Structure 1
Amino acid sequence: MKPFFASGQTESAENLWEQFVREMSEFLQDTEMWKDVSFLVLRIVLICVISRLALAVLNRIIDHATNEKKSRRLKLRTRRVQTLGRLLKNTASYLINFITILLVLGEFNIQIAPLLAGAGVIGLAIGFGAQSLVKDVITGFFIIFEDQFAVGDEIQTGSFKGSVELIGLRSTRIRSWTGEVHIIPNGSINQVTNFSVNPQLAVIDITVSSDYTIEEMMSLMRQVLLQINDLNLTAAPEVLGVQTLAPSQMTIRITAKCRPNTVGEVTRLVNTEVKKALEAKQASVID
């Protein structure tokens, strides 16, 4: 009996194999199916190519609109325009990719309307659960469009001060002068002090001995300041006069208008030049 059942199982397996081979052969020889598949692949490739071309055209338009020469001609801040250009490019990329995915799904006869409705419901639920994220995104848009600050600006918000490295939709990255990087959610940026919009004023107080007269010291400092030639200065430094008096010393105040973010450099330069002049005068008196 065992050989009989074994032979029956062998014939059944052979019949199944032959049926599988026959069905595969008919499937591979179905010209209509291959024609439909070819058109489907061609349409998907065309959608991808057209989407890439559309994205490239949009990027070119954005680059042209945010061109440095054009922004200067329209009296727009170059760094703000560059930041806005990067934001527009990212937005265009997300939008084009989203539309491309929807069109490709449509080619597979997947109903898009239910997907959009479901995405809307999910987005609404996420919106209620991520109000802080929505607040960060909205604040990020207002920071850019209101030109509160731009990449490269020196700002202070709260206890954080430094140079702006990145303005994203959700957060802003600031690097302090000592190297620390602070990542601040846009929604928590309530007050901002921007040190890069207008020229700054360096205030330098120099303490000298009362052995010299006030007129003598102020005249010496004026001569030194007139000889300082630095690109960071927007006007010649001025000697305002005596700020404080003490029995054995006096403090003379100097102000210097300088380019944004250069107060430290100008202050060190003025201190160095005045110190050199004072040392030279003291040496000449001793001689």
Structure 2
Amino acid sequence: MTVSWMAIRTATLALVVALAALAGGAQPAPAQPAPAEPTPAKVKELLDLLADPGVRDWLAKQQHARPAPAAPPATAQPSLGARMASVREHLATLAAAVPTVPDELARASNILGLEFEEHGLFRVLLLIVGFVALGFGAEWLYYWAGARVERWIVALPLDSVEHRLRAVAVRLAYGTGIVAAFAVGSVGAFLALDWPPLLGEIVLSYLVAFLAVRLALVAGRFILAPGGERFRILPMTTPAAAFWHRRFALFVGWLAFGWVTVALAGTLGVSLDVRRIVAYVLGLGLLAIGLEAVWRRPRPAPQPVQDGERAPARGWFGGVAGTVLLSIYFVLLWLFWVASAMPLFWLAVVAVALPATMAATQRAVNHILRPPGAADADAASPGLIAISLGRGLRAALIVGAVVLLAHAWHVNLADMTAGDALTTRLVRGTLNVVVVALVTDFVWHILKALIDRKLGAAQAGGSPDSEEARRQARLRTLLPILRNVLFIVLLVMAVLTALASVGIEIGPLIAGAGVVGVAVGFGAQTLVRDIFSGMFYLLDDAFRVGEYIQSGNYKGVVESFSLRSIKLRHHRGPLYTVPFGVLGAIQNMSRDWVIDKMGVGVTYDTDVDKVKKLIKQIGKELSEIPEFAPHILEPLKMQGVEQFGDYAIRIRMKIKTKPGQQFTIRRRAYAMIKKAFEANGIKFASPTVTVAGGGGDAAAVARQGLELVQPPPAAS
């Protein structure tokens, strides 16, 4: 390992010395004999002057200086006709500059050729390649030094939210180190040497372009992770991740090198109009990359369809219509750019990119912050942190889009806050309304997530008679009401704040609302009574969701309730919607415990003590059944003889159970009583009719009774 490190260090030092020698920086090269002609010295002086930033700025000002009227105020916006005239003038200027393109490029080529003639084209290319190689060498050294760290990152667990957040932070730091190593090895080594002005600017510009490409590759690998699905931040398939990773790097590379090339053309004296033409031609490459990505982007795999089912319809974005529309959209963007209609260009970019970016950001946040054990972020409900971070990022994206559009449309936001014109106040009010809506949306989703989280925890099962179960039932009852109240409060506050931000006085509005509220209160006393009655029912904990209650003629299980009414589901199915004001006294049949009374009738010759022992034994056996044991609070027992009837002795029994369980236990108890009584010779009493009489008289009476009940014979 020591030998390899020494070899690497020696090779790096040798490469740096070679580059320094090529550049002629630290140690100047031996003086060459001056040519006989004075032209090369003057050319060199011209190149030095062109490389001077002050001279370039002066030339640009002199070239584009035109007499113009006084600039309008920052808040004044040109009319549509003025904008169209500006577009026509821009296109006419480009058309006039097209014939001069060959001459301009030839002059720039001559200046560049003279620079290469002095320093050598091969030498310049070798310098660029050498510094790029230094950057890759420094990056390789970073990989070599951090090999153990990389293996540790690969083995990181991703089972919980904390583990995933730690993995994201570590990977971000590691990727930043990669870019920093390349920058230090390439750009840093370049800046450590002295360079001729024009040559230094050329080499540095293309090194920065290479650095942009490396940054795009590292950022794409960090977000998409084409080689490691475990660390992917934006959820998608592995082929799709690899596809978009390559297209993103290609797009950034073409944009960076094209930008550098156009900027260097300005350094070489190319006019602004010709540089624009070159930029628009290079923009066709960006357009081609976008169109190729749209037409060849990976489609989601079709879902398996069973026999007799219809295939699910694909969204418009995934179909041919969506591809055509996106292609037209990219072509329009290029046309807006060529026409210098930058307000429309940025408006079109924001209109499509902002919703897509917000959706992708929310998906990435939900994927990273998904609950433990949830494999699919779309199937799991997002947690509090995911909602907070997602809404915060969405608000930041919207604010950034507003600032970008304000800059593109030449709207001075600072002047908007101080101006008093009608348009200024309307625009300022609109911005304030957007801010209020974003803040309200953020606060509402945070509060809603908290309440939904509590409701989800309150749905957990447990012992019905425990204190925790009672507390959860109370939460299931009160939290939906609290959520609705908070929504109404936030909505009213947001509306009032928005009205105040656009200049509407809300003091008289609030006073008028108070007067109207008093009038409505007098006119809707029943409604007010229902609302207040419901509040006190909830404060008294009179009922909870899932409990069986009875009030007058209404009874059933509490399914839900609103601010003024309650919904009761009868055990036979009907649903009652009862206003709180008409409930009155409530009989709650689902609290704590119930005592179920049972009775049987036995004949008068029955041994009551034996019956008591049998019922006691049945109660003991009933309590030992695993299905019923948790629900029986006191075993079945006989209370004694209730009454002597005409034909039976009424025996009274009771059993104490949990609410709602008495019906099933009662049916099993009756079955066990019947079986035990039959086995021990105890007879159940039944009503009998005894007809007394003697001999033939009784038979005559019986025949007479039969004749009375039988129908007469049919006539022949």
TM-score bracket, shorter-length normalisation: 0.7 to 0.9
Give the corresponding residue for 2:474. Answer: 80
C-alpha RMSD of matched pairs (Å): 3.1
Cα 1:271–1:75 shift into 2, 3 Å: closer
What's the CA shift for 1:138? 0.6
Alignment of 1:218-257 (within 5 A): 218-228=612-622, 229=625, 230=628, 231-246=630-645, 248-257=647-656
Alignment pair present for 1:43 and 2:437? no
More strand by share: 1
Query: Does 208-217 or 256-265 show the bigger shift?
Result: 208-217
Match among 73, 80, 104 for residue 498 of structure 2: 104
Deviation string for 1:169-188 (max 9, x for gaps)? Answer: 10111122111211111111
Instruction: Indicate if the aligned counterparts of 2:547 and 2:557 stay in contact, CA closer than 8 A.
Output: yes
Instruction: Indicate if the aligned counterparts of 1:218 and 1:239 stay in contact, CA closer than 8 A.
Output: yes
Alignment pair present for 1:184 and 2:583? no
- Alignment size in residue pairs: 260
Give the corresponding residue for 1:94. Answer: 488
Query: Does 26-35 or 56-65 show the bigger shift?
Result: 26-35
Distance 2:636 2:468 in 1: 32
Letter matched to residue 198 of structure 1: D
Distance 1:49 1:276 in 2: 71
Match among 17, 20, 25 for residue 81 of structure 2: 25
Letter matched to residue 87 of structure 1: I
For structure 2, the residue ranges without an aligned partner over 5 or more in a row are: 1-77, 85-342, 344-408, 417-423, 461-465, 683-716
Give the corresponding residue for 1:52. Answer: 441
Query: Which structure would you say has the larger Rg?
Result: 2
Q: Which has the higher contact order (CA 8 A, sep 6+)?
A: 1
Deviation string for 1:130-175 (max 9, x for gaps)? Answer: 0110111111110101111211222111121221112321011112
Alignment pair present for 1:262 and 2:661? yes
What's the CA shift for 1:81? 2.4
Cα 1:101–1:260 shift into 2, 3 Å: same
SS at match of 2:538: helix
Letter matched to residue 104 of structure 1: A
Cα 1:24–1:106 shift into 2, 3 Å: farther
Instruction: Indicate if the aligned counterparts of 1:202 and 1:266 stay in contact, CA closer than 8 A.
Output: no
SS at match of 1:240: strand
More helix by share: 2
Cα 1:26–1:33 shift into 2, 3 Å: farther
Alignment pair present for 1:274 and 2:673? yes
Deviation string for 1:187-216 (max 9, x for gaps)? Answer: 112211112223110000012233431122
Instruction: Indicate if the aligned counterparts of 2:559 and 2:569 stay in contact, CA closer than 8 A.
Output: yes
Distance 1:247 1:216 in 2: 22
What's the CA shift for 1:121? 2.2
SS at match of 2:495: helix
Instruction: Indicate if the aligned counterparts of 1:196 and 1:260 stay in contact, CA closer than 8 A.
Output: yes
Letter matched to residue 97 of structure 1: L
Distance 1:138 1:43 in 2: 37
Match among 575, 587, 602 for residue 193 of structure 1: 587
For structure 1, the residue ranges without an aligned partner over 5 or more in a row are: 1-21
Distance 2:484 2:445 in 1: 12
Distance 2:670 2:467 in 1: 39
Give the corresponding residue for 2:100. Answer: none
Distance 1:172 1:75 in 2: 22
Give the corresponding residue for 2:179. Answer: none
Letter matched to residue 196 of structure 1: S
Give the corresponding residue for 1:17. Answer: none
Give the corresponding residue for 1:10. Answer: none
Give the corresponding residue for 1:209. Answer: 603
Deviation string for 1:67-114 (max 9, x for gaps)? Answer: 649xx7789632122211111111111111111122222333222223
Distance 1:148 1:106 in 2: 42
Match among 513, 522, 534 for residue 119 of structure 1: 513
Instruction: Indicate if the aligned counterparts of 2:428 and 2:502 stay in contact, CA closer than 8 A.
Output: no
Query: Normalization by structure 1: what TM-score?
Result: 0.78
The percent identity for this pair of structures is 27
Cα 1:62–1:129 shift into 2, 3 Å: same
Distance 2:484 2:516 in 1: 23
Instruction: Indicate if the aligned counterparts of 2:430 and 2:502 stay in contact, CA closer than 8 A.
Output: no
Cα 1:55–1:246 shift into 2, 3 Å: same
Letter matched to residue 236 of structure 1: P
Distance 1:264 1:177 in 2: 13
Letter matched to residue 265 of structure 1: T
SS at match of 1:105: helix
Query: Normalization by structure 2: what TM-score?
Result: 0.33
Instruction: Indicate if the aligned counterparts of 1:47 and 1:100 stay in contact, CA closer than 8 A.
Output: yes
Query: Does 53-62 or 187-196 show the bigger shift?
Result: 53-62
What's the CA shift for 1:217? 2.0
Instruction: Indicate if the aligned counterparts of 2:634 and 2:655 stay in contact, CA closer than 8 A.
Output: yes
Letter matched to residue 79 of structure 1: A
Letter matched to residue 125 of structure 1: A
Instruction: Indicate if the aligned counterparts of 1:161 and 1:176 stay in contact, CA closer than 8 A.
Output: yes
